[in-house]
Amino acid sequence: MENNNDKKEGIITNFVLYSVGCSNECVFCGKANRGDIDKNLRDEYDKLKEISNKSKIEIVEISGNDPIEYEKITEVIWKIKHISKAEKIMLSTHGRNLVNKDLLKSILEAGVTSLRIPIYGHNASIHDSITQSKGSFEDVMRALENIYYLDNKPELIITSLILKENQYNLKELFYLISKIKFAKEFHLSIAGFVPSKRNFIKSIPDFEDLKRDFNDTLKFSKKINLKLIIRDIPVCITKDDKIPHADFSVPYKGYKHFGLEDYGVPIYMQKKKTKECESCVYNDSCEGFFRTYIEGGFIKLTPLLKKL
Ligand code: SF4
């Protein structure tokens, strides 16, 4: 399959440590136990070598559950850097282990140029209710403090997801994140929904309430100069077509472990439109919304009949 990514100078791919396990038990993810990490590493290194033999790799995104909980993560990053020669290595992590300053320094020396760390609530009560792990909020705050004191800071992106647990306190969350001045951006999205994860249903936001309240929250983000980027949330929910918006772009060979073809999109990130979209003035520029929420009956799209 051809993708716009092919035409770019360098390839964006990912390195998914899906077998590492995680001490958090986030409501949208569940408990992740350690699996066959040796096979996982072999497959991902092979993927990286195959791509680097054919193309220039520009960015490697390291993710999984949670990469930084693997005790040899520094070694893995060195190897990724060596194989890929990528200019940018991004690490997505819950951030908890970065309370350890030595680990923070070693992953940066190994080649990490960018960190993505989620904050789900403005206090421990909300954040920890989403990670289902007591102490996780405090760890993230301490990790951020460690990053703040670095002389050579990596690029830092704070991320978050709108969930039932935090949807009525988003302004407070925005305010907290606006105070992390050394963060480059704040990316806000809605969790991908895997229908087999029935436990997650209680955490799905009330979309009718969100449609009613979200625009007011976005106005607040402008007042406090939050460097906000909305990801994968259509205009019929935001009621704002000015705030920077980005849609998920699939990394080349990113999800080979799911058995997906190049640029294959996992089910929880697939989008669709409904017949209502045909009457929406944003139809041509909109990618729709996550199909698992639409097909599960959790949201009804309400088309906009004139430009905002
Ligand atoms: S095209 Fe559909 S999903 Fe997109 S903004 Fe309009 S109603 Fe919403």
> Token digits for 213?
């309240």
Is pLDDT of 222 > 70? yes
pLDDT at 256: 72
pLDDT at 264: 76
d(CA 116, CA 94) in angstroms, rounded, equals 8
Is pLDDT of 37 > 60? yes
pLDDT at 259: 74
Is pLDDT of 238 > 50? yes
Is pLDDT of 249 > 90? no
Q: Is 186 in the pocket of ligand 1 (CB under 6 A)?
A: no
Please classify residue 33 by burial: count the beta carbons closer than 10 Å to its beta carbon, then call 0-12 exposed, 13-18 middle and 19+ buried. exposed
Work out which ligand 1 atom sits closest to the CA atom of 276: 7
Q: How many helices (H) and strands (E) does the chain have?
A: 10, 10
Mutate to test the pocket of ligand 1, among 215, 232, 286 (most ligand atoms within 8 A of CB): 286
CA-nearest residue, atom 1 of ligand 1: 283
Please classify residue 218 by burial: count the beta carbons closer than 10 Å to its beta carbon, then call 0-12 exposed, 13-18 middle and 19+ buried. buried
Q: Is 55 in the pocket of ligand 1 (CB under 6 A)?
A: no
Q: Is 154 in the pocket of ligand 1 (CB under 6 A)?
A: no
CA-nearest residue, atom 2 of ligand 1: 277
Q: Is 211 in the pocket of ligand 1 (CB under 6 A)?
A: no
pLDDT at 4: 45
Is pLDDT of 3 > 60? no
Backbone CA torsion sign across 61, 64, 68, 74: negative
Q: Is 234 in the pocket of ligand 1 (CB under 6 A)?
A: yes
Report the C-alpha dihedral over residues 19, 121, 247, 77, rounded to 10 degrees: -40
Q: Is 233 in the pocket of ligand 1 (CB under 6 A)?
A: no
Mutate to test the pocket of ligand 1, among 239, 280, 293, 306 (most ligand atoms within 8 A of CB): 280
For the stretch 177-214, pLDDT in tens is 999 999 999 999 999 999 998 999 999 999 999 999 99
Q: Is 301 in the pocket of ligand 1 (CB under 6 A)?
A: yes
Q: Is 287 in the pocket of ligand 1 (CB under 6 A)?
A: no
**Residues contacting residue 162 through CB under 8 Å, at least 6 positions apart:** 170, 188, 189, 190, 191, 205, 210, 233
Query: pTM score, two decimals?
Result: 0.93
Q: Is 46 in the pocket of ligand 1 (CB under 6 A)?
A: no
Q: Are 136 and 120 in contact (CB under 8 A)?
A: no
> Token digits for 197?
């994860």
Span 122-144, average pLDDT:
98
Span 278-307, average pLDDT:
97
Is pLDDT of 250 > 80? no
The residue to which tokens 């993710």 are assigned? 63
Order of strands, sheet of 11-17, starting from the edge strand that comes earlier in the sequence = 11-17, 57-64, 88-92, 114-118, 155-162, 185-190, 228-231, 245-246
Mutate to test the pocket of ligand 1, among 214, 215, 230, 236 (most ligand atoms within 8 A of CB): 236
d(CA 257, CA 266) in angstroms, rounded, equals 11
* 3-class state of residue 43 by DSSP: helix
Is pLDDT of 231 > 50? yes
Span 35-61, average pLDDT:
94
Split at pLDDT 50, 70, 90, the class of 1 is very low
To the nearest whole number, what is the mean pLDDT of the chain? Answer: 94
Span 52-58, average pLDDT:
93
Q: Are 283 and 305 in contact (CB under 8 A)?
A: no
| Residue 187, beta-bridge partner list | 159, 229
CA-nearest residue, atom 3 of ligand 1: 288
pLDDT at 257: 75
